[in-house]
Amino acid sequence: MKKRPNLILREPVKLYEPKILEKELPPQKEKKLGKDEEFESKQNNLQLAKKEIENTILEKEKIEFFPKRISLREKMSPRVQQIWDYFCQKAKQGDEFKKSFCLTRAEVMKGAGIGSTNTYRDALKKFQDLDLLKIELRPGVNSGSVFTFTERGIEELG
C-alpha cells in the first residue's frame, strides 16, 4: 500500500512586494489653503488640463491631415523589389527608354534572382494592383509576356 504524503497548507508565496519608504513620498502641505485660494488653484488646474487636451487634439489633427507619404518601394517585399528593379533595368537598357518589352517568366526569374514562381506571380499581382505595369500574358512557354509601364510606373522609374 502506498502512503500519501502529508500536504501542509502554506501561505502563498509573494514574488514581489513593493517597498515604499516614507522618505520617498512627497511632503504634504502643512498649510491649508483658504476657500478663495483653493478655488483659484482648482481653476488653474482646469485651465492646464484644457490646454493639454487642446494640444493633443491639434497633434492628432495634424497627423490625420498630413499623413506621411509612403513610397511604393516600402510597400513591396524585398523579393518583389528585386523583380521591380529588373523591370527597371530592362526599361532603361541602352540610351533610350522602352515603355514596353517582352519577357518570358524564366528570363525574369533568372534576371531578378527569384527561384519561386509563386513570388513571380505575387509580384505581378502587386504591380497591377499598384497600377505600375500593364501585363499582357501570352500562352506558351517561349512566347513570353508583354509588360507595359503605366504613367504611374514611369513616375516611379524617374
Integer Cα distance of 52 and 60 in angstroms: 12
Sheet holding 133-136, edge to edge: 100-103, 145-149, 133-136
**b/e burial code for range 60-87 (CB count within 10 A of at least 16 → b):** eeeeeeeeeeeebeeebeebbbbbbebb
- Report field, pTM of the whole predicted structure over 0.75: no
Distances (CA, A) of 39 to 28, 29, 156: 19, 16, 62
Per-residue pLDDT of the chain (158 residues; tens, 9 = 90+): 566 666 555 565 555 555 555 555 555 655 555 566 777 787 888 888 888 888 777 676 655 555 555 667 777 888 888 999 999 888 888 778 888 889 988 899 999 999 999 999 999 998 998 889 998 988 776 778 899 999 888 888 76
What fold is seen in the domain 77-157?
A: Arc Repressor Mutant, subunit A (1.10.10)
